[in-house]
Amino acid sequence: MATSSLAISPRKLRSDLYSYSYQNDSNTPLVISVLASLIERTMARNERIVKNCTWALSKDIRTRVFDCHETPDLTIQSYLERIFRYTRAGPSVYVVAYVYIDRFCQANPGFRINSRNVHRLLITTIMVASKYVEDMNYRNSYFARVGGLTTNELNKLELEFAFLMGFKLHVNVSVFESYCCHLEREVGIGGGYHIEKTLRCAEEIKSGQQEEKRYNQIARIML
């Protein structure tokens, strides 16, 4: 699979992330293009390894739950854009999902990301990451429709994912920032891709929403 080219300048990335809005008219976060490129390169590398070494095929029966019977006719970029379009998950969600994917691969060395399992892995990790990062989330049934799965399928994937991860889902600030730095290098040396800023922005937005909610409650009582 050919990797997608990134025509994204560090300045553009920085500007996008600093001014990111959670409004309905907000553009697709640039981190999606970076993550898509990284995953596509990983898949291409895995395909080369499997082609040269048949023993490198995934032999872990437990992780085969992520294999689909038919490979979806949808690129990684398009699939991530679809998830964003219908869930509006902020940039920090995709960073945490990237952390989960890396942890999952480390915890299950026999697992290799390929065209048959990548879509299910992405919708599962993004849903779990959204639950970790965001205060309000859609139901599993909604994420399932967005990802092209049944609710039972996604429920099973979420449960299996948690067990295969050893329930190690906590992501502290230092870990978050280290993965941000790795994504910065995907853009280029000196990229300055300050994704961690989006986490702080999200926290500020949530704080403001909570403050507004409390104000409205007080206003209703006074009325």
CA distances from 207 to 25, 114, 181, 201 (A): 21, 39, 26, 10
The residue among 94 and 180 whose pLDDT is bigger is 94
- H helix or E strand, kind and range, residue 202: helix 196-222
CA distance 212 to 217: 9
pLDDT tens-digit map of 185-219: 777 643 434 444 444 554 554 555 555 555 555 44
Mean pLDDT taken over the chain: 78
Residue 32 has pLDDT above 60, yes or no: yes
Question: Per residue in 76-88, pLDDT tens?
Answer: 999 999 999 999 9
Does 223 have pLDDT greater than 60?
Answer: no
More confident residue, 40 or 2: 40
Q: Taking the domains of the chain in order of start, what are their residue ranges? A: 10-189, 193-222
- Is residue 211 within a helix (H) or strand (E), and if so which, with residue range? helix 196-222
For residue range 131-179, list pLDDT tens digits in order.
999 888 999 999 999 999 999 999 999 999 999 999 999 999 889 888 8
Q: Give 73's pLDDT tier (boundaries 50, 70, 90).
A: confident
pLDDT (average), residues 19-48: 79
Lowest-pLDDT range, 7-16, 40-49, 67-76? 7-16
Q: Report whether pLDDT(19) > 70.
A: no
**What confidence tens digit (pLDDT) does each residue in 92-142 have?**
899 999 999 999 999 998 899 999 999 999 999 999 999 999 888 999 999
What local confidence, expressed as pLDDT, does residue 20 receive? 54
Architecture of domain 10-189: Orthogonal Bundle (1.10)
Angle at Cα 192 formed by Cα 107 and Cα 87, nearest 5°? 60
Helices (H), 55-150: 76-87, 91-107, 118-133, 140-147
Q: For position 198, what pLDDT does the model report?
A: 47
